[in-house]
């Protein structure tokens, strides 16, 4: 039984493929198109999944999409009658729904296959159902409370319920126009970060301020009964004019969603590129504080309603790692699972597993305990990429060595990191989700205070306030962090023990926290070995880990890794068995 899962015609387009309930491949289209959050039809992602699984498109039994335009239809009709939204909003929604429902024709055209030869049954899975399935169906738990929170999908802003065995039972929803994700996005735009997906920047900025404007934030969103939240709609535009979502050239863009009244409440908006001040830090901290109030209001209701101490979390808001790190402190949950692509890309995964487990009622046999589901490249392909870059490498006076012994390779790389070098690390299969987890990473010495500024200005070319993550050996977590709950997907922020902060200042954020990645030998033996070699040299079982990119999607192909190495001031690139160093 072959199932293809797709997230299409929305940001973070993606695809995955299952064979008999086992995940074979999963990837985001942005990695091929080289446009962040690429939206549209994920043709290259589908093609990769087919190749990795060794099947043809005509052999697919089920194609599952994480959208169902027919879901919540009565709610949509009632909204049209009561709110009378703009004609443009209605036209945009109709065109998007039409594209979704025309998926068979699109696949037939894109893969040059007559429709009659496409035997797959098409399943349209409601957006948040797919999110919930993406978390629970691949989790290690047989029973869990399940929660999905994001912007909007199929007229819903959040959904919750219970997962048992191979079934999901939905207990509640928050409907359009009320959304915690939309609230965060509006304030992100207000703070002068207009690009799609910029919310994570504001989350990092929040650590620099105090939530002194929390009372004003409570005027924007109010907590309601049964874990719900209600936007004060006079401060928002999406329910009338519509949040104009476009993807010209594949790059997603969201129109302004906050109303002019927000400036009357919070003062002047920050223009893109305008200098950040303490006022902006205060607003960011207040936004994060209000988000957490609403988020934990929902989670605590779900915990009380279900009486299950296990949580599976999904949706774009599940990427708020600061809030995720407080779940154990502020709720009754004692186990948490969040898969690495919790946002919209993960909808492809959820749609596929929803069909396999819930619709076909097949038993759950797969657990996602590692994130390496993307493309990998042969040594021959690495050789070819290096050969093509020979001229650039010669100009930079680079030395290329082939080190076939993995122990020696890790030792050499660890020595370079310990010497203060910035090392690109390109190994194995690419990560699924937005985090680089040790296969498409840039690594550096966490002991060096100056390393954060070096990376932000010399390599990443991004805002200086943004933090970097500590990747730590799983068996050493309790020595460095206040919580030792494993997190292989770098999706929770925990407090670093006060006595350890001065040892790893480059990965300690201004508030004493770090976005933890635990590295287990069983999950990624090569990366684990590299950190172990670094510990032998420095007595520190931690390396600084950031994504291998420069204001672009994480590198996928070796030629992209070489391009990034050449155009930035990276010191060393470890590309498979090759160690390439500037002299």
Q: What is the DSSP string of 204-252?
A: HHGGGS--TTHHHHTTTEEE-GGG-EEE-GGGB-TTTT---EE-GGG--
Q: Round to whole Å and give the CA distance between 271 and 455.
A: 25
* SS3 category, 142: coil
What's the confidence (pLDDT) of residue 178? 96
* SS3 category, 357: helix
Which secondary-structure segment (H or E) carries 391? helix 390-395
What's the confidence (pLDDT) of residue 75? 81
Report in angstroms the alpha-carbon separations of 29 from 287, 310, 320, 503, 560: 31, 32, 22, 39, 15
Question: How many other C-beta atoms lie within 10 A of the C-beta of residue 559?
Answer: 17
Q: Round to whole Å and give the CA distance between 232 and 131.
A: 26
Instruction: Please report where in the chains the tokens 């037939």 appear, as a residue.
Output: 108
Mean pLDDT by 10 residues, the chain (583 residues): 96 98 98 96 98 98 95 80 67 68 92 94 97 98 98 95 98 96 97 96 97 98 97 92 75 93 97 96 98 98 98 98 98 98 98 98 97 98 98 97 98 98 98 98 97 89 91 98 97 98 97 98 98 98 97 97 96 98 96
Report in angstroms the alpha-carbon separations of 450 from 285, 417, 420, 444, 457: 25, 14, 10, 11, 11
**Is the distance from CB of 75 to CB of 175 less than 8 angstroms?**
yes
What's the confidence (pLDDT) of residue 508? 97
Q: Round to whole Å and give the CA distance between 477 and 486.
A: 8
Question: How many other C-beta atoms lie within 10 A of the C-beta of residue 74?
Answer: 7
DSSP alpha helices (H): ranges in 450-553?
451-454, 477-480, 498-501, 525-538
* SS3 category, 425: strand
Q: Round to whole Å and give the CA distance between 163 and 275.
A: 46
Q: Round to whole Å and give the CA distance between 448 and 502.
A: 10
Structure confidence by residue, pLDDT tens digits, 448-503: 999 999 998 888 888 889 999 999 999 999 999 999 999 999 999 999 999 999 99
Q: Which residues pair with 572 in a beta bridge?
A: 423, 581
Domains of the chain and CATH, by start: 2-130+343-359 (3.30.420.40), 175-337 (3.30.420.40), 379-582 (3.90.870.20)
**Is the distance from CB of 144 to CB of 163 less than 8 angstroms?**
yes
* SS3 category, 18: strand
Whole-structure pTM value: 0.95
Say what the alpha-carbon torsion angle 535, 487, 560, 453 is, to the nearest 10 degrees.
Answer: -60
For residue 182, give the nearest of 218, 230, 226 by alpha carbon: 230
Q: Round to whole Å and give the CA distance between 432 and 434.
A: 7
What's the confidence (pLDDT) of residue 417? 98
CA terminus-to-terminus distance, the chain: 53
Checking DSSP bridges between strand 542-547 and strand 572-575, what pairing results, if any?
A: unpaired
113 phi and psi angles, rounded to 5 deg: -125, 125
Residue 177: is the preceding peptide bond cis (ω within 30°)?
Answer: yes
Instruction: Please report where in the chains the tokens 């802003």 appear, as a residue.
Output: 157
What's the confidence (pLDDT) of residue 242? 61
Question: How many other C-beta atoms lie within 10 A of the C-beta of residue 260?
Answer: 10
What's the confidence (pLDDT) of residue 355? 98
Q: Which residues pair with 26 in a beta bridge?
A: 16
What's the confidence (pLDDT) of residue 92? 65
The count of residues in the chain is 583
**Is the distance from CB of 42 to CB of 8 less than 8 angstroms?**
yes
**Is the distance from CB of 538 to CB of 548 less than 8 angstroms?**
no
Residue 170 tokens read as 């939905």
* SS3 category, 561: helix
Which secondary-structure segment (H or E) carries 47? helix 43-53
For residue 57, give the nearest of 103, 95, 7 by alpha carbon: 103
Checking DSSP bridges between strand 578-582 and strand 398-402, what pairing results, if any?
A: antiparallel
Q: Round to whole Å and give the CA distance between 518 and 531.
A: 11
What's the confidence (pLDDT) of residue 138? 98
């Amino acid at each position: 039984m072959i199932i293809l899962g797709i997230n299409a015609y929305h940001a973070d387009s993606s695809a995955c493929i299952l064979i008999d309930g086992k995940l074979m491949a999963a990837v985001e289209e942005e990695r091929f198109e080289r446009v962040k959050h690429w939206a549209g039809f994920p043709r290259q992602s589908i093609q990769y999944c087919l190749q990795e699984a060794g099947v043809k498109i005509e052999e697919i039994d089920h194609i599952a999409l994480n959208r169902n335009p027919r879901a919540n239809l009565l709610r949509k009709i009632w909204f049209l009658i009561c709110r009378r939204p703009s004609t443009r909003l209605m036209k945009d929604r109709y065109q998007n729904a039409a594209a979704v429902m025309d998926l068979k024709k699109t696949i037939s055209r894109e893969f040059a296959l007559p429709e009659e030869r496409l035997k797959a049954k098409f399943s349209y899975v409601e957006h948040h159902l797919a999110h919930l399935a993406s978390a629970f169906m691949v989790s290690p738990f047989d029973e869990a409370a399940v929660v999905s929170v994001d912007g909007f999908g199929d007229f819903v802003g959040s959904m919750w319920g219970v997962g048992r065995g191979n079934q999901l039972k939905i207990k509640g929803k928050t409907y359009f126009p009320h959304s915690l994700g939309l609230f965060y996005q509006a304030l992100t735009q207000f703070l002068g970060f207009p690009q799609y997906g910029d919310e994570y920047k504001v989350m990092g900025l929040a650590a620099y301020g105090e939530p002194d404007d929390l009372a004003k934030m409570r005027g924007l969103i109010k907590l309601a009964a049964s874990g719900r939240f209600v936007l004060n709609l006079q401060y928002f535009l999406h329910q009338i004019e519509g949040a104009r979502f476009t993807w010209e050239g594949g790059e997603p863009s969201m129109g302004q969603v906050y109303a002019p009244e927000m400036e009357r409440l919070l003062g002047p908006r920050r223009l893109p590129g305008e200098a950040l001040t303490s006022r902006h830090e205060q607003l960011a901290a207040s936004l994060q504080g209000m988000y957490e109030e609403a988020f934990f209001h929902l989670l605590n209701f779900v915990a009380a309603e279900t009486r299950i101490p296990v949580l599976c979390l999904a949706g774009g808001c599940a990427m708020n790692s600061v809030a995720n790190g407080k779940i154990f402190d502020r709720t009754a949950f004692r186990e948490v699972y969040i898969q690495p692509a919790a946002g919209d890309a993960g909808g492809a995964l959820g749609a596929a597993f929803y069909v396999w487990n819930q619709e076909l009622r097949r038993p759950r046999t797969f657990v996602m305990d590692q994130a390496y589901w993307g493309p990998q490249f042969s040594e021959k392909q690495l050789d070819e990429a290096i050969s093509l870059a020979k001229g650039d490498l010669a100009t930079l006076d680079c030395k290329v060595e082939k080190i076939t012994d993995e122990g020696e390779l890790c030792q050499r790389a660890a020595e370079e990191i310990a010497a203060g070098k910035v090392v690109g690390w390109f190994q194995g299969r690419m990560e699924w989700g937005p985090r680089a987890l040790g296969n498409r990473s840039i690594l550096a010495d966490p002991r060096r205070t100056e390393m954060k500024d070096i990376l932000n200005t010399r390599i990443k070319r991004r805002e200086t306030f943004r933090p970097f993550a500590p990747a730590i050996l799983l068996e050493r977590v309790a020595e460095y962090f206040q919580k030792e709950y494993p997190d292989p997907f770098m999706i929770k922020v925990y407090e670093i023990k006060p006595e350890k902060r001065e040892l790893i200042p480059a990965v300690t954020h201004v508030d004493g926290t770090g976005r933890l990645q635990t590295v287990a030998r069983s999950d990624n033996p090569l990366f684990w070995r590299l950190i172990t070699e670094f510990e032998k040299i420095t007595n520190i079982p931690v390396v600084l880990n950031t994504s291998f990119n420069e204001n672009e999607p994480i590198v996928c192909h070796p030629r992209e890794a070489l391009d990034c190495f050449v155009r930035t001031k990276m010191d060393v690139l470890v590309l498979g068995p090759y160690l390439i160093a500037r002299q």
